């Protein structure tokens, strides 16, 4: 019996051939090859690359905010209030003389903070509820899905407003409210995926080997549902940003003087006709970032969804 020789990657060309080979010599090589193939498919989508570029710029803006901001986002200068965009103030100043560009730059940190916290809580809760409901079925499925239906019966922003009104205004309570109202769609997706997977031959084989339902759900079902949820999470980021901005606009999210984009639009709406930049530029920031997440989500869906393969 001859031993198959697996060549090691040497140079850029050799690395590419090593990743794209049809006969990988190890699991690591096979996984890296799938990741590289997915990246090539993603990179062919120009709009998806635009979305990725926008998100990368948002992350860099948040990380480098103290370095790229030209002024303090909190310092007031009433002598220069409501100044139009100029060399001294690139995006103009607001009603308190604060530099709008610097406030938008520092506001990107709040936006990422909200997005990341919601993204690591709501999908996890929805994934666990959906997989347990879909795998166990019976009364467990009925009870969990009826609870899910109750949450889905209300518009997300209205339900978030109710929770924030009960918890009190503030960015922490806003994040909790958004997370509570965001998990039901993930539970629905995970349940549908689980109901397709639970009768598969490999699940039956694992069950015959004596694996418990907890081990099957955690070790086999959840990993297979993850790709669909990643796409949904990316597409939902725009909605999370808009919900957070809506709460901030209504005064129930981040509180002054925090430079939250929705709150900036709220305070600037009374100057919209004459000092248009006060509310328009934070609104453009929300629009661009939301567009970036949507474009990125569309690209990931094309790569990760097996129906599109």
CB 95 within 8 A of CB 82: yes
Residue 3: predicted pLDDT: 41
31-82 confidence digits (pLDDT tens):
787 878 878 888 888 999 999 999 999 999 999 999 999 999 999 988 889 9
Domain-embedded: residue 70: no
Within a domain: residue 8? no
The pair of structure tokens assigned to 220 is 């086999």
Give the tens place of pLDDT for each residue, 222-244.
888 887 888 888 888 888 888 88
Mean pLDDT of the chain: 86
Which CATH number characterizes residue 105's domain? 1.10.3720.10
Cα–Cα dist 306/309, whole Å: 5
- The answer on pLDDT for 250 being more than 90 is no
Reported as a single tens digit per residue, the pLDDT across 157-192 is 888 888 888 888 888 888 899 998 899 999 999 998
| Residue at 279 is within a domain | yes
Q: Is residue 195 part of a domain?
A: yes
Within-domain flag for 123: yes
Domain contains 21: no
What is the domain count for the chain? 1
pTM greater than 0.85: no
Q: Is residue 263 part of a domain?
A: yes
Q: Is residue 226 situated within a structural domain? A: yes
Crossing angle between the packed helical segments 122-136 and 171-197, to the nearest 10 degrees: 30
Domain holding 194, by residue range, is 100-308
């Amino acid at each position: 019996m001859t031993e198959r020789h697996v060549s090691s990657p040497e140079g850029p060309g050799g690395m590419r051939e090593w990743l794209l080979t049809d006969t990988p010599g190890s699991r690591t090589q096979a996984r890296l090859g799938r990741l590289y193939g997915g990246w090539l498919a993603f990179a062919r989508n120009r709009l998806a690359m635009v979305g990725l570029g926008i998100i990368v710029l948002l992350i860099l803006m948040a990380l480098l905010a103290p370095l790229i901001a030209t002024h303090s986002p909190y310092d007031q200068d009433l002598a220069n209030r409501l100044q139009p965009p100029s060399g001294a103030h690139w995006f103009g100043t607001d009603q308190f003389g604060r530099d709008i560009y610097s406030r938008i730059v520092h506001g990107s940190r709040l936006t990422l903070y909200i997005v990341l916290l919601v993204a690591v809580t709501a999908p996890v809760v929805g994934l666990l509820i959906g997989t347990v409901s879909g795998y166990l079925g019976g009364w467990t499925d009925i009870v969990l899905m009826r609870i899910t239906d109750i949450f889905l019966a209300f518009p997300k922003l209205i339900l978030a407003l109710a929770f924030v009104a009960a918890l009190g205004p503030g960015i922490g309570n806003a994040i909790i409210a958004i997370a509570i109202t965001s998990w039901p769609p993930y539970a629905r997706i995970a349940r549908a995926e689980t109901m397709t997977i639970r009768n598969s031959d490999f699940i039956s084989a694992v069950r015959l080997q004596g694996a418990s339902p907890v081990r099957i759900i955690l070790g086999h079902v959840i990993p297979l549902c993850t790709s669909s949820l990643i796409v949904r999470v990316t597409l939902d980021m725009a909605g999370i940003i808009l919900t957070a901005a809506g709460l901030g606009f209504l005064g129930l999210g981040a509180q002054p003087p925090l430079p939250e984009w929705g709150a900036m639009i709220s305070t600037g709406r009374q100057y919209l006709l004459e000092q248009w930049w006060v509310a328009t530029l934070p609104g453009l920031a929300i629009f661009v970032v939301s567009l970036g997440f949507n474009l990125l989500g569309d690209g990931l869906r094309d790569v990760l969804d097996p129906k599109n393969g």
